[in-house]
Amino acid sequence: MNEQQNFAALNPDRVIDAVESVGFVSDLRVFALNSYENRVYQFGLEDAEPLVVKFYRPGRWSNAQIEEEHRFTQQLSDADIPVIAPWRNSGGDSLFEHDGYRFALYPRRGGHAPALDDMENLFQLGRLFGRLHLLGETEDYHHRPQLTPASYGTASREFLLEHDFLPSSLRDAYQGISQDVIALIDEAFANVAPRNIRCHGDGHVGNILWRDGDTQLVDFDDSRMAPAIQDLWMFLSGDRDTQQGALLELVEGYEEFREFSPRELRLIEPLRSLRIMHHAAWLAQRWDDPAFPLAFPWFNSERYWGEHILSLREQFALLQEPPLALQA
């Protein structure tokens, strides 16, 4: 049974059976939440607040990799860093399996994405990730992967070319610009030689729950060993002056807890380029999952690939510009 068939068979009855297998009693209300890589549901309980249940995509992570992520989020929670760690049973287990489906349970939390044009919000985000990285650097992941140019860039390029996703009219253009971009990324990583630490890995506003001044960081599914700047650069957008101002606020908050390495500023555009390449390959790799064409109908058209190549050309230019700096 392939991944598509596994998720296709994950109907509400199976969701209820799975969660009740670990001791909860359903009120029969199950609502699918927006999730594509995994399948995530809000699960109603009798006489209790609902839970969120996440079913892991078959074949993506090993049990050891998932449990390592869970251990990290529990360490962060125990240190009063505002993350949402998975529920554990009386035996300390957080990863469960029922009828061939692996899943974890989380308390439901509400909130909204923070406004990044508010400097105080950026300062608080810097403080949050400074605390997270201070604990994250105390030990390494031994099972979860490293973020490298090879894993996010070269592997993405090879997948797209080997599986003929590019229209023939654009294949040569993609092949050339992607190779040029990867060469500059490799050079930047070689020059900076960053130290990789345990990071959230997908630090964008969609993974921040903001409510009445309280912050919750969610979704460590992409957590891996990476340069610290990986958890910060996605909060930088707009023109250079806007990014420069945001960076200063982030780093000011960050350095209340952990020293920031200015050398890693040279990795902002390389990491942005890697994300662009990796995202295209991720969509391609999941295209057989029926949820993906429904959620991303604009993907895999000639127009999409033309715009993707244009984005890589823009990144090629940005990769040759001076990096942001820690002074205005």
pLDDT in tens, 258-294: 999 999 999 999 999 999 999 999 999 999 998 899 9
Topology of domain 119-318, per CATH?
A: Transferase(Phosphotransferase); domain 1 (1.10.510)
17 is catalytic: no
Nearest 10 degrees: Cα torsion 193, 196, 199, 201: 50
For the domain made up of 3-107, give the CATH fold: Phosphorylase Kinase; domain 1 (3.30.200)
Dist. CA 132–CA 79, nearest whole Å:
9
- Indicate the residue type of 48: A
SS3 166: coil
Taking the C-alpha atoms of residue 184 and residue 26, their distance in angstroms, rounded to an integer, is 53
Domain locations in the chain? 3-107, 119-318
Closest C-alpha to 199, from 115, 123, 130, 248: 130
The rounded distance, in Å, linking the Cα atoms of 286 and 292 is 7
* pTM of this structure: 0.95
**Per-residue pLDDT tens digits for 99-118:** 889 999 999 988 889 999 99
Residue from 172, 180, 186, 219 carrying the catalytic annotation: 219
State which amino acid sits at residue 270. P
pLDDT band at 242 (very low <50, low <70, confident <90, very high): very high
Mean pLDDT on 305-328? 95
Answer yes or no: is pLDDT of 194 > 50.
yes
Q: Cβ distance 68 to 136 under 8 Å?
A: no
Q: What pLDDT, in 10s, does the model give residues 59-87?
A: 999 999 999 999 999 999 999 999 999 99
Q: Point out the catalytic residue in the list 186, 202, 239, 241.
A: 202
Is 93 annotated in the active site?
A: no
SS3 (DSSP) at 96: strand
Alpha carbons 68 and 227: distance in angstroms, whole number: 18
Q: Of the candidates 109, 64, 65, which has an alpha carbon nearest to the alpha carbon of residue 87?
A: 109
Rg of the chain in Å (alpha carbons): 21
CB contact at 8 A, 227 and 267: yes
DSSP state of 301: S
